[in-house]
Structure 1
Amino acid sequence: MSLELDRRLADVGTRFRIFPQPRFLQKADGSGPLFPEPEEVTVSVEPGAMQAGPGDDRMFVIDAIGKLPYNRFFRPPFRGDARPPVQAGDDGHFDHLDPAGREFSAATMYATVRRVLDIWEDYFGRTIQWHFESDFSRLELIPLIEWDNAQSGYGFLEFGFGRKPNGTIDHDRPFCENFDVLAHELGHSIIFAEVGVPASPQDEAIDYGGMHESAGDLVAIVASLHFHSVVDMLLDSTKGNLLTINGLDRVGELSDSREIRVVFNSRRMSDVGEEPHDRSLPLTGAIFDIMVEVFQQDLVAKKLISEDLRTRSTNLPGTSQDLLEIEAEFTAAYTGNEAAFKDSLLRARDYLGRLLAVTWSRISPDFLTYHGVLRTLLAADREITGGENVPIIRSCFAWREIAPVPTSLMLRQHTLVDCGLTAGKGVTVPDPGAPADPQIPAPRANGAAFVNRL
């Protein structure tokens, strides 16, 4: 699993430097950048197989000149003018690039997408084939077009810049250096590749759309937790207390990162509508809650916190005194045990990554419902852990009010009459091994006898 990923790549992969979060994000107290320096990451491509650009056999960067955004009439491949491809250093790596230069932005875009793909292919245990493979063999990455937006599409990712308060382009905020945004967009590609799209025009795909946005956020947050600085910041700020109101508030103060904010949410199905981003929140929250619960379960197993503390922090006590007591107890437990807490969180992260990979490999896009996602998660946990975390998964989804829709056939009752197991006024249940009773009608060919008609 991914705890071993960096160890495996350290001696064989190619080195880059990327910012875990956008460099313009400031600390809550305004004392300086949240992440002042880029961090070194190693991607799975060996230096000898790396191409200028950068690029490899799965993706490549092209720094287009004067390009307009792709649309339904203008699609890849890009055949216009482009700046010279970024070259590796003499040692075959790209960690020498100056963060102030344009080449760093191009290399960051490649390194982020390649790194996120490496992480999720590790969880899937195999190559994730592009959903556009019938037309293109490689994903086209365009880092810096003169546009105050960004988009992903069939065979490409192209990114522009953020906006200033007056609405003009802010060249100090290139989207291609935003790890969360790139990872989220790659998450959509992973879902297209592994889940597919609904086939029926009668499928309104309401939960499918919410699942897609949720998956993008989860791909991003799980990938961001592979930065030690992000994990350390999260734990140092919360002391492992990730589920109480105090913990949620503190996380919200950490960063302007959308992904960090959306996974820590308290939205239930009764709070949201049908717009995909809004509807994604209960599903994202439920799945991230699973990771936190598994994390705290491991802390209990290691005797780092008590079962009582875990229960009180999970159930969100109603008084400020309770919250202060919980915070104090977590602080005492965390102090001196920082490495053990981190190990538990990383193991929970990798459990969640594998759980999602197995689930996304198995769900159907056709008439998808959140309840169907839940059942597939339960089956995935039985495969991974033998069902150890089934109660956690059930409780996290129940709290978010994710259940079969009221009109679901699953909720209909079936009487003996409905099942064709009666004859006249008396109820006769036949012996399965006995010869067929000619007085008991056979089930209807269209299956109608199995549906409750009340």
Structure 2
Amino acid sequence: MSITLDQRMAQTGTRFLIFPQPRYLPFFEEPEVVYVSVPPQEIQPGPADDRMYVVDAVNKQPYSFFSQPPYRGPANPPIMPGPDGHFDHLDVNNREFSCATMYATVRRVLDIWEDYFGRRIEWHFRLNYQRLELIPLITWDNAQSGYGFLEFGYGRTPAGGIDRTRPYCQNFDVLAHELGHSIIFAEVGTPNINANTDEYGGFHESAGDLVAMISSLHFNKLVERLLENTKGNLFTTNELNRIGELSENRQIRELFNYEKMSTVSQEPHELSLPLTGAIFDVFVEVFQRELVQAGLISEELARRSFHAPDENEDDDAIQAEFTTAYSGKEEQFKDALFRARDYLGAVLAEAWNQLSANNLTYARVGLQLMNSDVTISGGEYQNVIRDCFAWREISLPANSVAFQIRRLDDCGLMSYH
């Protein structure tokens, strides 16, 4: 989302409160005020609009193959806006806040990605349902997205029970990830039954994680915390690359990882890691190039900071150099991060718009990213994408027809004697 768009939304949009990261994590105990694109006069009680609506269901069982939207059972009254038409007045400790923040999170993530696509994202379920149904709180230790709905329960206690202090509907990363699945279904589609691949499943999970990462970078509090902790050295474990954080030391997946195609199974979540890691590496490389071009770090420091875990680099010395470079240049580092964020969002949107779900492979994803880079940057990052994907062992299979050698005779053409 461009900074100018966010400024316009602050003038005409509706205010909500969202926790950038789970509120039980240090530094994120207080929510951040955000705006969604829908004006106050167009948001209905619920909250609801023309794209989605919240139902605070009572005693509901999770949807299954045998039950689908719309929910028609008992429900609490819809949440009303404040006297000024906004929803930032709600007590964060009340159930009403969970309803409002779930709507705000989904609406804001949709706003962000429609900005990157440059157009409206149509729901893949629109043949059957006009709007996305949002169910914020059911008695369940899980969450799920499905055809026309998102419904969320609670996290788990260390003993395995339901932890009502940790509703998933307040976890921005988890909600953004699930909406990412809907975006991929809408833009890339679903494969024919005989054209499905393991990598399509991994791609779906990777895309959900990337949607969450890029969307989270639209919170000033998170960006400032990220840069203050890392000083711009993003090839480290930090707030940004832990998706679906469950505690200070537990998360669903890490974007920053060292997995390659040879080190993972075909299970979709595990298989997603090399693709996600490759694209995260591209993002950090773009960020560092922005820093180099702005004269904030040296090319030599950028090169040394990008290394595998078994390479002999002095991490403490690298961090010290980033710390020195960052001091007094905080705003310049922040601007460079925003430029890298918006580059990646635009490139992914362009690539997803062109991809086909049938026979999808990570190699095709990489090739389409390179095509999209030409459109977005004029091809500035071709080598970066190529190198990051190669390190993850993402390439065409050895038996691909693309490797077939074709001689003149094979093409039905004969040379003159």
Residue-by-residue CA offset, 1:231-273 (whole Å, 9 max, x unaligned) = 1111111111122xxx2379779945737x5211111111112
Tell me the distance in 2 between the aligned counterparts of 1:6 and 1:128: 19
Residue-by-residue CA offset, 1:26-72 (whole Å, 9 max, x unaligned) = xxxxxxx3301011000000000010000101001010111111111
- Indicate the residue corresponding to 1:127 in structure 2: 120
- Indicate the residue corresponding to 1:9 in structure 2: 9
Structure 1 letter corresponding to 2:56: D
User: Cα offset for 1:289?
Assistant: 1.1
1:302 maps onto 2:294 in alignment: yes
2:143–2:151 CA contact under 8 A, matched in 1? yes
User: Cα offset for 1:212?
Assistant: 0.3
- Indicate the residue corresponding to 1:419 in structure 2: 411
Tell me the distance in 1 between the aligned counterparts of 2:313 and 2:67: 60
- The TM-score with structure 2 as length reference comes to 0.95
2:241–2:254 CA contact under 8 A, matched in 1? no
- The TM-score with structure 1 as length reference comes to 0.87
Match of 2:35, SS state, is strand
User: Cα offset for 1:318?
Assistant: 5.7
User: Cα offset for 1:105?
Assistant: 0.5
Tell me the distance in 2 between the aligned counterparts of 1:230 and 1:224: 7
- Runs of at least 5 residues in structure 1 that lack an aligned partner in the other structure: 26-32, 423-427, 431-454
Tell me the distance in 2 between the aligned counterparts of 1:93 and 1:168: 35
1:275 maps onto 2:297 in alignment: no
1:22 maps onto 2:15 in alignment: no
- Indicate the residue corresponding to 2:362 in structure 1: 370
User: Cα offset for 1:17?
Assistant: 0.4
- Indicate the residue corresponding to 1:160 in structure 2: 153
1:323 maps onto 2:315 in alignment: yes
Residue-by-residue CA offset, 1:148-174 (whole Å, 9 max, x unaligned) = 111110000011111222222111111
1:287 maps onto 2:287 in alignment: no
| Structure 1 residues 257 and 429: alpha-carbon distance in aligned structure 2, compared to 1, 3 A threshold | farther
Once the two structures are superposed, the pairs formed by residues 46-445 of structure 1 within 5 Å of their partners are 46-199=39-192, 201-243=193-235, 247-248=236-237, 255-256=248-249, 258=251, 262-316=254-308, 322-422=314-414, 428=415
Structure 1 letter corresponding to 2:237: L
| Structure 1 residues 115 and 250: alpha-carbon distance in aligned structure 2, compared to 1, 3 A threshold | closer
Tell me the distance in 2 between the aligned counterparts of 1:402 and 1:166: 39
Structure 2 letter corresponding to 1:16: F
Structure 2 letter corresponding to 1:56: D
Match of 2:11, SS state, is coil
| Structure 1 residues 251 and 372: alpha-carbon distance in aligned structure 2, compared to 1, 3 A threshold | closer
Structure 2 letter corresponding to 1:291: F
Residue-by-residue CA offset, 1:180-205 (whole Å, 9 max, x unaligned) = 11000000000000000001x22242
Tell me the distance in 2 between the aligned counterparts of 1:105 and 1:183: 15
Tell me the distance in 1 between the aligned counterparts of 2:355 and 2:66: 33
| Structure 1 residues 321 and 122: alpha-carbon distance in aligned structure 2, compared to 1, 3 A threshold | closer
Tell me the distance in 1 between the aligned counterparts of 2:263 and 2:341: 27
User: Cα offset for 1:385?
Assistant: 1.1
Match of 2:314, SS state, is helix
Match of 1:83, SS state, is coil
Tell me the distance in 1 between the aligned counterparts of 2:353 and 2:239: 35
Tell me the distance in 1 between the aligned counterparts of 2:249 and 2:118: 33
Structure 2 letter corresponding to 1:78: Y
| Runs of 4+ off more than 6 Å | 249-254
1:139–1:157 CA contact under 8 A, matched in 2? yes
Tell me the distance in 1 between the aligned counterparts of 2:70 and 2:274: 38
| Structure 1 residues 134 and 251: alpha-carbon distance in aligned structure 2, compared to 1, 3 A threshold | closer
User: Cα offset for 1:421?
Assistant: 3.5
| Structure 1 residues 251 and 211: alpha-carbon distance in aligned structure 2, compared to 1, 3 A threshold | closer
1:421–1:429 CA contact under 8 A, matched in 2? no
Measured on the aligned residues, the alpha-carbon RMSD in Å equals: 1.8
| Structure 1 residues 11 and 262: alpha-carbon distance in aligned structure 2, compared to 1, 3 A threshold | same
Q: How many residues are aligned here?
A: 413
User: Cα offset for 1:390?
Assistant: 1.0
Match of 2:254, SS state, is helix
1:238–1:251 CA contact under 8 A, matched in 2? no
Tell me the distance in 2 between the aligned counterparts of 1:148 and 1:249: 26
| Structure 1 residues 257 and 20: alpha-carbon distance in aligned structure 2, compared to 1, 3 A threshold | farther
